[in-house]
Structure 1
Amino acid sequence: MTSTDAEPAGRHARGTPDRATVTAFAEIAAVMALWFWSLSRVDPGEMTDLGLVSVLPVTAFVALAALALSFGLALLRVPGTGARLLTAYPLALTLMVYLTPPLVYDTARYSWAWKHAGIVDYIDRTGGVDPFIDVLTVYHSWPGFFAFNAMLTDLAGLDSAMSYAAWAEVFFNLLTVAAVVALLRGLTDDPRTVAVAAWIFVLGNWVGQGYWSPQAISYAWYLLVVALLVHWFPGRPAAGVTHAVTTPARRAGLMGVVLLLLFCIVSTHQLTPVVTLLTVTVLVLTQRTNATTLPLLVTVLVGGWLLYVAAPFTETTLTEALAAIGAVDENVEGTLIQYDAISTGQLLVSMMSRAQTVAVVLLAGAGVIARLRRGHRGYTAFFLAAVPFTIVMFSPYGHEILFRAYLFALPGLAFFAAALLWPPSSVVTPHRMRVLLGVSLALMVGLLFSLFGNDRQYHFTEREVAAAEYVYDVAPPGTLLVEGSRNYPAQFENYDRFTYVPIAREAEEDRLEMVQHPVRVLRRWMGDSSYAASYLVITRSQKAETEALGEMPGGGLQSIEEALLKSRAFRAVLHNEDASVFVLRTQLVESGEPTATGGAR
Structure 2
Amino acid sequence: MTSTLKETIRPQARWKPRDIWCAVAGGVSLALAVWAASTVVLPVNSDVGLVGVLPFPFWAGVLILNVAFVMALRGDAAGPARSPVMVWLLVVLVLVLFGAAVFVTDIPRGEVAFRHLGIADAMSRNVAIDPNIDAYFNWPGFFALLATVLGATGLDPVTLALWAPVFNVGLWLVGVAVVTRSLTSDPRRRWLVLWLFCLGNWQDQDYLSPQAFGFFLYLVVVALALGPLAAKAPPFRGFRRADLAAWWRGRYPAESRPGHRVAALAATLLLIVVISASHQLTPFMVLIALTALTLSGRLLPSRLPLIAGVVLMLWLVFPASTYLLGHPPLADAGLQTAIEANVVDRTNGTAGHVLVVQVRIALTLLLWTLAAIGTVRDWRRRRLDLRVLLLAVTPVFLFPAQSYGGEMLIRISLFALPFVALQASSVLLPTTTGYRPSSRVAGGLVLTCLVFAGMTVTGRFGNAQYDVFTDDEISAVATLDRMAPPGSAIISAAHPTPWRNTDYLGHRYRTIEDLCPPDLSAATCGPVVYHYAKHNAAGSYLLLMSSAESSLVVQGQTTPSGFDELEAWLDAQDGVELAYSNNNARVYRVEP
Q: What TM-score comes out, normalization by structure 1 length?
A: 0.88
1:152 matched to 2:149? The reply is yes
Name the structure 2 match of 1:299: 309
Name the structure 2 match of 1:311: 321
- How far did 1:314 drift? 2.0
Structure 1 runs of 4+ with >6 Å offset: none
Separation in structure 2 between the aligned mates of residue 218 and residue 8 of structure 1, nearest angstrom: 30
**1:249-268 equivalent positions in 2, closer than 5 A:** 249-268=259-278
8 Å CA contact 1:51–1:449 kept in 2: the answer is yes
SS where residue 579 of structure 2 aligns? strand
Separation in structure 2 between the aligned mates of residue 389 and residue 399 of structure 1, nearest angstrom: 14
1:353 matched to 2:350? The reply is no
- How far did 1:472 drift? 2.7
Larger mean Cα displacement after TM superposition, 33-42 or 104-113: 33-42
Separation in structure 1 between the aligned mates of residue 418 and residue 192 of structure 2, nearest angstrom: 12
8 Å CA contact 1:538–1:557 kept in 2: the answer is no
Encode CA deviations 1:79-132: one digit per residue, 9 max, x unaligned.
535557235434431122122222211311111111111211211221232101
Encode CA deviations 1:142-182: one digit per residue, 9 max, x unaligned.
11110011111211235x63241111111001110111111
SS where residue 544 of structure 2 aligns? strand
1:99 matched to 2:99? The reply is yes
**1:117-516 equivalent positions in 2, closer than 5 A:** 117-133=117-133, 137-157=134-154, 161-236=157-232, 245=255, 247-318=257-328, 321-325=329-333, 327-338=334-345, 341-424=348-431, 425=433, 426-508=435-517, 510-514=519-523
Encode CA deviations 1:191-240: one digit per residue, 9 max, x unaligned.
1111111111111110100111000011011011101211222222699x
Separation in structure 1 between the aligned mates of residue 234 and residue 160 of structure 2, nearest angstrom: 42
Separation in structure 2 between the aligned mates of residue 78 and residue 401 of structure 1, nearest angstrom: 43
Name the structure 2 match of 1:596: none
- How far did 1:510 drift? 5.0
SS where residue 296 of structure 1 aligns? helix
Separation in structure 2 between the aligned mates of residue 10 and residue 235 of structure 1, nearest angstrom: 30
8 Å CA contact 2:110–2:467 kept in 1: the answer is yes
Separation in structure 2 between the aligned mates of residue 395 and residue 8 of structure 1, nearest angstrom: 44
Amino acid at match of 1:191: P
- How far did 1:42 drift? 2.0
Mark the CA change 1:163 to 1:435 in structure 2 (over 3 Å): closer, same or farther: closer
Larger mean Cα displacement after TM superposition, 463-472 or 281-290: 463-472
Name the structure 1 match of 2:111: 111
Amino acid at match of 1:503: I
Name the structure 2 match of 1:43: 41
Gaps of 5+ in 2: 1-6, 236-252
Separation in structure 2 between the aligned mates of residue 406 and residue 223 of structure 1, nearest angstrom: 14
Amino acid at match of 1:292: S
Mark the CA change 1:172 to 1:496 in structure 2 (over 3 Å): closer, same or farther: same
- How far did 1:560 drift? 3.3
Amino acid at match of 2:290: V
Gaps of 5+ in 1: 1-6, 588-601
Larger mean Cα displacement after TM superposition, 37-46 or 432-441: 37-46
- How far did 1:246 drift? 5.5
8 Å CA contact 2:66–2:446 kept in 1: the answer is yes
8 Å CA contact 2:30–2:61 kept in 1: the answer is yes
Identity %: 28
- How far did 1:46 drift? 4.4
Name the structure 2 match of 1:549: 555
Mark the CA change 1:118 to 1:582 in structure 2 (over 3 Å): closer, same or farther: same
- How far did 1:399 drift? 1.1
- How far did 1:522 drift? 4.9
- How far did 1:439 drift? 1.2
Separation in structure 2 between the aligned mates of residue 46 and residue 278 of structure 1, nearest angstrom: 41
Mark the CA change 1:483 to 1:385 in structure 2 (over 3 Å): closer, same or farther: same
Separation in structure 2 between the aligned mates of residue 316 and residue 522 of structure 1, nearest angstrom: 25
Larger mean Cα displacement after TM superposition, 538-547 or 335-344: 335-344
Mark the CA change 1:65 to 1:504 in structure 2 (over 3 Å): closer, same or farther: same
Mark the CA change 1:163 to 1:404 in structure 2 (over 3 Å): closer, same or farther: same
SS where residue 232 of structure 1 aligns? coil
Separation in structure 2 between the aligned mates of residue 482 and residue 36 of structure 1, nearest angstrom: 36
8 Å CA contact 1:183–1:223 kept in 2: the answer is yes
Amino acid at match of 1:375: R
Separation in structure 2 between the aligned mates of residue 361 and residue 471 of structure 1, nearest angstrom: 46
Separation in structure 1 between the aligned mates of residue 366 and residue 446 of structure 2, nearest angstrom: 15
Name the structure 2 match of 1:599: none
**1:512-551 equivalent positions in 2, closer than 5 A:** 512-514=521-523, 518=526, 522-528=529-535, 530-551=536-557
Amino acid at match of 2:103: L
- How far did 1:244 drift? 7.4
SS where residue 342 of structure 2 aligns? coil
**1:41-80 equivalent positions in 2, closer than 5 A:** 41-78=39-76, 80=78
- How far did 1:499 drift? 2.7
8 Å CA contact 1:229–1:291 kept in 2: the answer is no
8 Å CA contact 1:511–1:553 kept in 2: the answer is no
Separation in structure 1 between the aligned mates of residue 146 and residue 268 of structure 2, nearest angstrom: 22
Name the structure 2 match of 1:582: 588
Computed over aligned residues only, the root mean square deviation of the Cα atoms, in angstroms, reads 2.5
Equivalent pairs counted in the alignment come to 565
8 Å CA contact 2:512–2:529 kept in 1: the answer is no
Q: What TM-score comes out, normalization by structure 2 length?
A: 0.90
- How far did 1:292 drift? 1.9
